[in-house]
Amino acid sequence: MLKKLLFLIALIIAANSCTRDDLCSEATQKTSKLVIAFKNFNNPLEDKSVSNLTVITDIGEVIVIDNESTDSINIPMNTAADITAYRFIKNSNDSVNINVDSISFNYLRVDEYINRACSFKTVFYDLNAIVVSEDDNWIRSVEIKNDTIENEDEAHINIYH
Amino acid sequence: MKMKHILIFIISITFTSSFSVMAQEESTTLNDTIAKTEKYGLRIGADLSKPIRSFFEDDYSGFEVMADFRVSKKFFAAVELGNESKDRFEENLKSSTSGSYAKVGFNFNAYNNWLGMNNEISAGLRYGFSTFKQELLGYGIYTEDNTFPNTFVENPIEYKGLTAHWAEFIMSIKAEVYTNLYLSINLQLKRKVSEDKPENFNNLFIPGFNRTYDFSEFGVGYGYTLSYLIPIFKK
């Protein structure tokens, strides 16, 4: 009887000491970023890299993508406002061919509970993207593929250029 | 040589005689204890660990009263009633829970007492039920990026009328420290059977069940109980 009791005490101590609850695991899906794929305007099925792309926030000018030539980017959305505006700068290292386009993304936000260690995440619904038109837009069109931003598995937006 | 033998003789005489006298006395007192009756009835008490915890922990307050009643030589019907409230103020998640609970079940005493003693080493089962409310006071939004300032939302939401049910295995050691007064420690292993989960949140604490675990239905607890036996029956 006493041995069983001691075993139970040991079991309880063991159960108490190592739990997965106190750390927010890497594998857990937190607030998702916006995934953008760049496509060829003349051949919409073809991926097309943007040369020396830099992406900065419109307010505060925080650099999110720094001078990369890529056909796909993940950028964060503001979890405290229903709009996030970015400047997409093509040829950002070239003072002659540099071209700045602005896109503002608007959406609805819903905060979802994850677990006690990770707390909450924001899911964005009804995503909309508006390209600020100017004389010389390098972005020709924007297509919303998935208007709910919940995970980063697939592109939410295609940008044709 | 002769002297030594005499000495041994004297020593043994005195010892045996004194022993026999003592034995004589003891047997008379023993006769008295045999005459002692077995007493049992309703035992009522309170868990001391909860007020102690309330005193030392700012974010906890609680109490528990208990009662048990001997239904047969080894079985006791047992009930515990309590109230607990617990705040969880984590950096990114602030919540508060409060409510009442009841636990009903039995204890089985596996300890064979000497005549006249009333100690217990027992194992028991309980059905636990709690009704409580949970408040989500504030939360941070987890982003793996600091482009935008971190968001902490303080928009308290109260989830009322929640209930939870669980089964509990309880082991306890009880000792009669003074006539009819018992001290006991117990350990509890619980398993949730069902619960009302608040929408878009979770029960981080359930009164009577203690803290919950995100990836497990089990819970643990302990108690340190002082109880008094009202000896209704004597035989």
Q: Do A119 and B141 touch (CB under 8 A)?
A: yes
Buried b (16+ CB within 10 A) or exposed e, B145-165: eebbeebebeeeeebeebebe
Each residue's pLDDT tens digit, B29-80: 445 544 466 778 899 999 999 999 999 999 999 999 999 999 988 899 999 9
Interface probe with B: pick from A58, A120, A122, A150, most Cβ of B within 10 Å: A120
pLDDT at B146: 86
Antiparallel, parallel or unpaired: β A83-90 and A99-115: antiparallel
Distance from CA of A85 to the nearest CA of B (A): 12
Joined tokens for residue B189: 């292993």
Amino acid of residue B82:
G
Distance from CA of B166 to the nearest CA of A (A): 17
Q: For residue B153, give the 3-state DSSP assignment.
A: strand
Q: Where are the domains of chain A?
A: 28-160
User: Which candidate from B148, B200, B215 shows the least CB-CB separation from A78?
Assistant: B148
Q: How far apart are CA B231 and CA B228, in angstroms?
A: 9
Q: Do B93 and A116 touch (CB under 8 A)?
A: yes
Contact B235, B37 (CB under 8 A): yes
Which residue in chain A has the smallest CA separation from B199? A113
B26 pLDDT higher than 50: no
Q: How far apart are CA B128 and CA B112, in angstroms?
A: 29
Burial class of residue A46 (count of CB atoms within 10 Å of its CB; 0-12, 13-18, 19+): exposed
Interface probe with A: pick from B147, B188, B211, most Cβ of A within 10 Å: B147
Residues of A whose CB is below 8 A from B213:
19, 21
pLDDT at B4: 59
- What does the pLDDT average to over B174-179? 91
Contact B192, B215 (CB under 8 A): no
pLDDT cut 90: percent of chain A above it: 69
Q: Do A21 and B213 touch (CB under 8 A)?
A: yes
Whole-complex ipTM: 0.80
B28 pLDDT higher than 70: no
Q: How far apart are CA B74 and CA B76, in angstroms?
A: 7
Contact B157, B135 (CB under 8 A): yes
Confidence of residue A5 (pLDDT cuts 50, 70, 90): low
- Rounded to the nearest 10°, the torsion over CA A13, A17, A18, A22 is 140
Residues of A whose CB is below 8 A from B153:
111, 120
In this structure, which CATH number among 1.10.10, 3.30.1920, 1.10.3470, 2.40.160 belongs to the domain B40-234?
Answer: 2.40.160
Residues of A whose CB is below 8 A from B189:
8, 11-12
Burial class of residue A135 (count of CB atoms within 10 Å of its CB; 0-12, 13-18, 19+): exposed
pLDDT at A95: 86
Each residue's pLDDT tens digit, B1-10: 555 565 555 5
Residue A3 near chain B (CB below 8 Å): no
Each residue's pLDDT tens digit, A69-126: 999 999 999 999 999 999 999 998 888 889 999 999 999 999 999 999 999 999 999 9
Q: Is the dihedral of CA B181, B46, A16, A4 positive or negative?
A: positive
Q: Please tell me the least confidently modeled range out of A31-45, A94-108, B22-36, B112-126.
A: B22-36
A68 pLDDT higher than 80: yes
Interface probe with B: pick from A78, A82, A119, A121, most Cβ of B within 10 Å: A119
Residues of A whose CB is below 8 A from B93:
116, 119-120
Residues of A whose CB is below 8 A from B135:
none
Residues of A whose CB is below 8 A from B149:
80
Residues of B whose CB is below 8 A from A109:
none
- Residue of B30 and A7 predicted with greater confidence: A7
pLDDT at A9: 66
User: Which candidate from B142, B213, B218 shows the least CB-CB separation from A120?
Assistant: B142
Q: Do A113 and B201 touch (CB under 8 A)?
A: yes
- Residue of B212 and B20 predicted with greater confidence: B212
pLDDT at B19: 42
Q: Catalogue the E-assigned strands of B110-146.
A: 120-140
Q: Which of residues 29-68 of A touch B (CB under 8 A)?
A: 30-31, 33, 57, 62, 64
Confidence of residue B20 (pLDDT cuts 50, 70, 90): very low
> What 8-state DSSP symbol labels residue A32?
P
> What 8-state DSSP symbol labels residue B145?
-
Of the CA atoms within 13 Å of residue A70, those in its CB half-sphere come to 15
- What does the pLDDT average to over B165-179? 94
A16 pLDDT higher than 70: no
Closest to A149 in 3D by CA, of A119, A107, A115: A107
Quickly list DSSP for B154-220: ---EEEEEEEEEEEEEEEEEEEEEETTEEEEEEEEEEEEEEEPPPTTS--SEETTTEE-BTTBSEEE
> What 8-state DSSP symbol labels residue A3?
H
Contact B172, B124 (CB under 8 A): yes
pLDDT cut 70: percent of chain B above it: 84
